[in-house]
Amino acid sequence: MAKNWCIGIIGGSGLYDIEGIEDEQWLALETPWGDPSDEILFGRIDDVQVRFLPRHGRGHPISPSGLNSRANIDALKRAGCTDILAISAVGSLREEIEPGRFAIAEQFIDNTRGRASSFFTSGCVAHVSMADPVCPRLSEMAAKAVTAAKGKVATGATYLAMEGPQFSTRAESHMYRAWGADIIGMTAMPEAKLAREAELPYALIGMATDYDCWHEEEEAVDVAAVLKQMKANGALARKAVLNFIKALPKTRKASPIDTCLDESIITAPNERDPALLAKLDAVAGRVLKSK
């Protein structure tokens, strides 16, 4: 069934606001998973409803390991989002993805440690497919939006999610390259997994700031260099986000991800934990009410 777009924008390092938003209002949303990173900016761009969440909070007080991704995704779902476009600063593991180039993620390797990565814990178990972890429709539109903003873009990138907050060792950086990763960051996992569980199509624009530490002819990554490149990337990212939203079709056609929980919940109805079901009201209310 067709419905109107409501785009959730998760702003990463270097993107703490968006341009062109009207009727803006910051609202605090409560979730059963705890507090999200910040209030959510509600507004619209033309006829498209927009919800903006700064991933690390305004002023960047939250470390990658401290992010409550379950609360962030739940809050965006409660805010009415139909789709999510995530923006992240990343390191490059490939010569051709030079600092300043943007990369559209297609696959992920999750090398994080100890992060809560599912809404479906014991009491209501679900297994969603992550074979194709991003929405191809959103990803294609994201690449076109970067190009329209006069940015350089690479597509089909594999994103290696590391724990952080420290940067890689040289040995790790070379290992990730051998694994086939193209870009590296600290925040897209479990974010992308949770978006899928919440039936929210997800795409990610990675903003390359450095060559991590594998590149023999470049200095090893440090915060000063990252911040300098982030400033330039942020201006382009804001233009790309605006282009992305303005180019959306008038009507949102249904995505297979909209109903991916239909065949994913495995726990029998009489064995489901009522307390957990109550916490899943936003994330999985559609399918739980029908079963």
Quote the pTM value: 0.95
pLDDT digit string (tens) for 159-205?
999 999 999 999 999 999 999 999 999 999 999 999 999 999 999 99
Closest alpha carbon to 60 in 195, 289, 234: 234
User: Is 56 annotated among the ligand-binding residues?
Assistant: yes
The reply, when asked if residue 189 is annotated as ligand binding, is no
- Among 56, 59, 19, 25, smallest CA distance to 40 is for 25
Could you give the CA distance from residue 105 to residue 107 in angstroms, rounded to a whole number? 6
Confidence band (pLDDT; 50, 70, 90) for 272? very high
Per the annotation, does 211 bind a ligand? yes
E strands, the chain, are 6-11, 22-27, 40-45, 48-54, 83-92, 102-111, 153-162, 183-185, 202-210
The CA distances from residue 131 to 135, 201, 281, 290, in Å, are 11, 14, 26, 26
* Boundaries of every domain in the chain: 6-288
The set of catalytic residues is 210, 212
Q: What is the mean pLDDT of the chain?
A: 93
Closest of 133, 67, 126, 127 to residue 280, by C-alpha = 126
DSSP 129: -
Per-residue pLDDT reduced to its tens digit, 203-225: 999 999 899 989 877 776 666 77
122 annotated as ligand-binding = no
The class of domain 6-288 in CATH terms is alpha beta
Cβ(182)–Cβ(157) under 8 Å?
yes
